Amino acid sequence: PFQTLTAPAPFADETSCQCQAPHEKLTIAQARLGTPVDRPVRVYADGIFDLFHSGHARALMQAKTLFPNSYLLVGVCSDELTHKFKGFTVMDETERYEALRHCRYVDEVIRDAPWTLTPEFLEKHKIDFVAHDDIPYSSAGSDDVYKHIKEAGMFVPTQRTEGISTSDIITRIVRNYDVYARRNLQRGYTAKELNVSFINEKKYRFQNQVDKMKEKVKNVEEKSKEFVYKVEEKSHDLIQKWEEKSREFIGNFLELFGPDGAWKQMFQERSGRMLQAFSPRQSPNSSPTRGRSPSRSPSPPWVFNKASPPSSPKAASASLSSMSEGDEDEK
């Protein structure tokens, strides 16, 4: 079952986890078949492990999973041995020890591991097999420091992970030294801490200012492009709305003032009403009469003839007498 790790791996000189069962020599075939729980296969892997990376972790994973039941011990060489036989490290020995303790595949860390494995060291830590890549490792006057381990049948090869190594990481840093120096100066590190000369410090700080100006110009350009895009989008929407409104206006105008529009019909109706108001219909000819001749209408007796008014009182009396005679005749 999967076991949750809640603490870093212990150091060999501080742990009480010792193999209590008799330590009989195992062959690789026997180890691959599996061993009892109280007798795990003790596998040893060593190295410098500077700038601990995924290539290191994969090598340790392979060493841990070589056998069904295994206990992985990892030896880390000290700064003294490393500087003597290989070269200067980026991380000191304490940092490298701690990096190994927090790898999930490591069961135990051996500090100040030997450069060449001796029978006494193998016996002290009850080591069954040594895991390392199969490429001959020439060092300390030997063509392969693991040659005697291979001859004893205790060597188990692992595969290197291509494309990643401590040397590759350091090469990247050296290649981009100016970038990292400028970045750390900007973060607050001093030129003395970075081992940068006075002239280079001023140059890097000037380059940082130039980069800031470039970034500001870039931001302004991006914001300008975004603003122009928004204006174009808004203008497009506005023009589209104008077109819709203009079509609606033209349609309403034609519906109202077109050849067959409502305005023409309303105008015709009002024109007809006005004509009727100015020229009313004549009375019908069949209206009843009162028995008098239509060509002659009697005048009231009190209306005088405007053409021949009486010239004197005598003439007026004479006309009144004649009117009274006429009335008697009509009666």
Question: 32 with 88, same domain?
Answer: yes
In angstroms, the CA 133 to CA 144 distance is: 12
Q: Which pair of tokens denotes residue 205?
A: 């700080």
> How high is the pLDDT of residue 291?
47
Question: 77 with 117, same domain?
Answer: yes
The list of the chain residues with pLDDT below 70 reads 1-4, 15-23, 140, 254, 256-264, 267, 274-275, 278-331
In angstroms, the CA 66 to CA 61 distance is: 9
Question: 41 with 143, same domain?
Answer: yes
Q: Which of 129, 117, 170, 141 is nearest to 27 (CA)?
A: 129
In angstroms, the CA 49 to CA 150 distance is: 22
Inside any domain, residue 34:
yes
The number of helix segments (H) and strand segments (E) in the chain equals 12, 5
Q: Which pair of tokens denotes residue 173?
A: 């840093």
Sheet with 70-76, side-by-side order of all strands:
108-111, 70-76, 41-47, 129-133, 155-158
Question: 151 with 173, same domain?
Answer: no
Question: 102 with 208, same domain?
Answer: no
> How high is the pLDDT of residue 234?
76
Under DSSP, the state recorded for 70 is E
Q: Which pair of tokens denotes residue 29?
A: 């075939």
> How high is the pLDDT of residue 330?
46
CATH number for position 146 = 3.40.50.620
Helices 177-187, 166-175: inter-axial angle, 10-degree rounding: 80
Inside any domain, residue 238:
yes
Inside any domain, residue 21:
no
Question: 224 with 247, same domain?
Answer: yes
Under DSSP, the state recorded for 142 is B
Question: 186 with 238, same domain?
Answer: yes
> How high is the pLDDT of residue 304?
47
Inside any domain, residue 296:
no
Question: 90 with 174, same domain?
Answer: no
> How high is the pLDDT of residue 138?
83
Its domain, for residue 177, covers 166-264
Q: Which pair of tokens denotes residue 225?
A: 């492009």
Pick from 264, 291, 322: which residue ends a domain?
264
Question: 72 with 104, same domain?
Answer: yes
Question: 136 with 175, same domain?
Answer: no
> How high is the pLDDT of residue 283?
55
Q: Phi and psi of 304, rounded to 5°?
A: -90, 160
Question: 171 with 153, same domain?
Answer: no
Inside any domain, residue 195:
yes
Q: Which pair of tokens denotes residue 123?
A: 């016996």
Inside any domain, residue 303:
no
Pick from 264, 297, 313: which residue ends a domain?
264
Number of domains in the chain: 2
What is the b/e burial string over 110-129, where b = at least 16 CB atoms within 10 angstroms of the residue's CB? bbebebebeeeebeebebbb
pTM above 0.75, yes or no: no
Inside any domain, residue 197:
yes
Pick from 229, 264, 299: which residue ends a domain?
264
Inside any domain, residue 15:
no
Question: 37 with 150, same domain?
Answer: yes
